[in-house]
Structure 1
Amino acid sequence: MAFSEKVKLEAKKKACFRCVICQKPFVEIHHIIPQAYGGNDSLENAAPLCASCHDLFGGNPEKRKQIREMRDHWFDLMERRLNGEINLLDPITENPDNINMLKDKGVALYHLVYEHEDFETSASILVKLLQTAQKQFPNQKRYLYMDIEGHKNVLGGYDHDMFELQNEFTLGFLMQYLTKANIPLINVINNKLQRNDVPMEFEICSDEKEVLKKLKKESRNKHFVIYPLEVD
């Protein structure tokens, strides 16, 4: 069987007749889980895709979760648009950068925290890495790798600054802008779609101080690097 005309029309309307990946018009309804693998013909299994995105990603089983996430996100945006939360008169622009999110590779962000660094310095460097990656490699998956020299307490664990940097700052805040974080405490995969709206202005605060150094100073540090992984 195939999608009924009613389901097709409902899916297209929920997407405002746009591809849920790149936002181009003229879409067909794709089975997220193919019928051959038990996928049904319900709206829950339907994703409006343009011909290009269907050919690039539709047949790849590893992309099903991300296609569903992008579909749900786009449906939600369009519902908010129709409900007046987003200006209905604003044109819907195509977003080819979303395609980068479905590529198998991305960019690796690496920072070695030196023993002399405090929380503010390290946090500022991590933010600068994110901002630079967003600018140079727009919306590609980001994988953070962090090493820490020293910063151990008498019990052998990390001191307050480095525990806060890993637990509160990286996992609690930066993780939304990453696909995966590999830090000394833990390796974590983001269970949601990586956000690609990295702010260009940050004020980083710690428990001890209110507003800390601006990020411009940290751009001259030499012990951090961004490098592209092999992109399919």
Structure 2
Amino acid sequence: MAFSEKIKLEAKRKACFRCVICHKSFVEIHHIIPQAEGGNDTIENAAPLCASCHDLFGGNPNKRKQIREMRDHWFELMERRADGEINILEPIMEDHQNINMLKNSGVAIYHVVYEHEDFDTSANIIVKLLQNAQKQSPNQKRYLYLDIEGHKNSKGGFDHDMFELQKDFALGFLMQYFTKISMPLVGVKNNRLQRNDVPQEFKIFSDEELLIKKLKKESGKKHFIVYPSEVD
């Protein structure tokens, strides 16, 4: 069987009649898992795709997981748009750079933290590498490989700065902008679609009292990473 007209219309409405990959209009509903392999005709298996993205990726079994992630991400954005969280008057723009996330194998970003580097120095270097990767290879999957020389405490573990760099900065904040992060502490794969709206400016603060006053929140962390718009 094929998708019912009801399911087709539901999928198109959830996507605002746009391709979930490149956001182009004029879409057809694609089976993420083909019918020949047992794929059903429910909304969970439906992905609105334009003819170009369907031809490029629809028949590739290795792209199914990413197509599903892109679909879920786009459905969520369009739901927020309908609820007024996103400006509904702003036109939906086509984004052909999203194709890079499916078309390319990805970009590896490697940084060694030397013994003389503190938290601020290392964090700023990683941010610059992230920004350059997005600029030079827009929307391609990014993999961060972080190595650390020295920075051990008396018990053989990492000192405060390097523990915080890995746990709170890399995993707690930067993870959203990478597909996978590998560090001495742990290796983690992003369980959501990598974000590509990389801010052009980050601010890294180490004055706890200032940030408690500005952000009005309690925290025992030494450093905070925020967008400029989040601080008065």
Question: Which category of TM-score, normalised to the shorter sequence, fits these structures?
Answer: 0.7 to 0.9
CA distance in 2, matches of 1:104, 1:96: 13
| CA deviation after TM superposition for structure 1 residue 110, in Å | 0.9
Residue-by-residue CA offset, 1:80-106 (whole Å, 9 max, x unaligned): 323333333322110011111113411
Corresponding residue number in structure 2 for 1:139:
139
CA distance in 1, matches of 2:109, 2:73: 26
Partner SS for 1:154 = coil
1:40-189 equivalent positions in 2, closer than 5 A: 40-189=40-189
CA distance in 1, matches of 2:208, 2:114: 20
Structure number with higher relative contact order (C-alpha < 8 Å, ≥ 6 residues apart): 1
Partner SS for 1:204 = strand
The letter of the residue matching 2:142 is R
The letter of the residue matching 1:130 is L
Query: Unaligned regions of 5+ residues in structure 1, if any?
Result: 213-232
1:7-26 equivalent positions in 2, closer than 5 A: 7-26=7-26
Residues 119 and 206, structure 1, Cα contact 8 Å, conserved in 2: no
Residues 1:104 and 1:134: Cα distance change in structure 2 (over 3 Å): closer
| CA deviation after TM superposition for structure 1 residue 115, in Å | 0.5
CA distance in 2, matches of 1:8, 1:127: 42
Q: TM-score, length-normalised on structure 1?
A: 0.86
**Which has the higher mean CA deviation after the structures are superposed, 9-18 or 78-87?**
78-87
Identity %: 77
The letter of the residue matching 1:123 is A
The letter of the residue matching 1:187 is G
| CA deviation after TM superposition for structure 1 residue 210, in Å | 5.9
Corresponding residue number in structure 2 for 1:216:
none
Residues 1:153 and 1:209: Cα distance change in structure 2 (over 3 Å): farther
| CA deviation after TM superposition for structure 1 residue 29, in Å | 0.5
Residues 104 and 140, structure 2, Cα contact 8 Å, conserved in 1: no
Residue-by-residue CA offset, 1:92-130 (whole Å, 9 max, x unaligned): 110011111113411111111111111110011111111
Partner SS for 1:97 = helix
Across the aligned residues of Structure 1 and Structure 2, the Cα RMSD in angstroms comes to 1.8
| CA deviation after TM superposition for structure 1 residue 168, in Å | 1.1
1:188-199 equivalent positions in 2, closer than 5 A: 188-199=188-199
CA distance in 1, matches of 2:125, 2:92: 35
Residue-pair matches, total: 212
Corresponding residue number in structure 1 for 2:229:
none
Corresponding residue number in structure 1 for 2:5:
5
**Which has the higher mean CA deviation after the structures are superposed, 85-94 or 113-122?**
85-94
